[in-house]
């Protein structure tokens, strides 16, 4: 048989740790105790000598050097436009110009035809109130609206009033074409 195993508490490492714990009341090792050592004392320096300065005085002796302005002139010169005020002024001028341009352009179109056109690189959106102007109109949340995004069978959805959809006519033509093809196939197989 081999030599007997040492117990963990008898190993040299454990003995070393026990010895270290006895050396300081906190039980911290020397490398940790060094972290808590006080810093070296601050080096003494001579105080700085203050220079003699002239006494404080007012500006009364210099008033004659300034221009003699009235109160109204001072108020007009003191008025300075801030960045926010300038931005608001420029934006208001831009909107005013846009309104004028829009007033010139809109009479050229009926309101339905102006939708999507551009004035000064800005797209015009014509919003039509369909709730009171289009008969049998239902809002999208009640199953109506433009298009058929919420229906499972787009062909079965009845067409309600609203904006003209060009693809509706195309769907009807495709359905008629398919119907004619089916009739031709049916005739050819009977012979």
pTM above 0.75, yes or no: no
How big, in percent rounded to 5, are the helix, strand and coil portions of the chain?
50, 0, 45
Give how far the C-alpha of residue 169 lies from the chain's centroid of Cα atoms, to the nearest Å: 42
> Where are any strands of DSSP class E within 59-126?
118-119, 122-123
Torsion sign over Cα 161, 162, 164, 166: negative
Question: Which tens digits make up the pLDDT trace of 55-96?
Answer: 888 888 888 787 776 666 666 666 788 999 999 999 999 889
Among 89-98, 105-114, 121-130, 148-157, the minimum mean pLDDT is found in: 148-157
102 vs 32: CA distance, rounded Å: 79
Residue with tokens 């220079």: 51
């Amino acid at each position: 048989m081999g030599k007997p195993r040492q117990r963990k508490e008898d190993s040299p490492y454990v003995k070393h740790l026990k010895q270290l714990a006895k050396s300081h009341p906190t039980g911290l090792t020397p490398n940790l105790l060094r972290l808590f050592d006080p810093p070296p004392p601050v080096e003494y320096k001579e105080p700085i000598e203050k220079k003699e300065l002239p006494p404080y005085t007012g500006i009364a002796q210099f008033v004659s050097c300034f221009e003699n302005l009235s109160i109204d002139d001072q108020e007009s010169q003191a008025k300075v436009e801030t960045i926010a005020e300038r931005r608001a002024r420029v934006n208001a001028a831009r909107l005013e110009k846009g309104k004028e341009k829009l007033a010139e352009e809109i009479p050229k179109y009926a309101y339905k035809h102006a939708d999507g056109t551009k004035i000064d690189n800005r797209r015009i959106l014509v919003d039509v109130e369909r709730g009171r102007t289009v008969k049998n109109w239902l809002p999208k949340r009640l199953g109506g609206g433009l298009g058929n995004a919420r229906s499972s069978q787009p062909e079965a959805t009845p067409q309600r009033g609203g904006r003209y959809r060009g693809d509706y006519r195309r769907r009807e033509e495709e359905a008629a074409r398919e119907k004619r093809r089916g009739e031709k196939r049916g005739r050819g197989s009977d012979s």
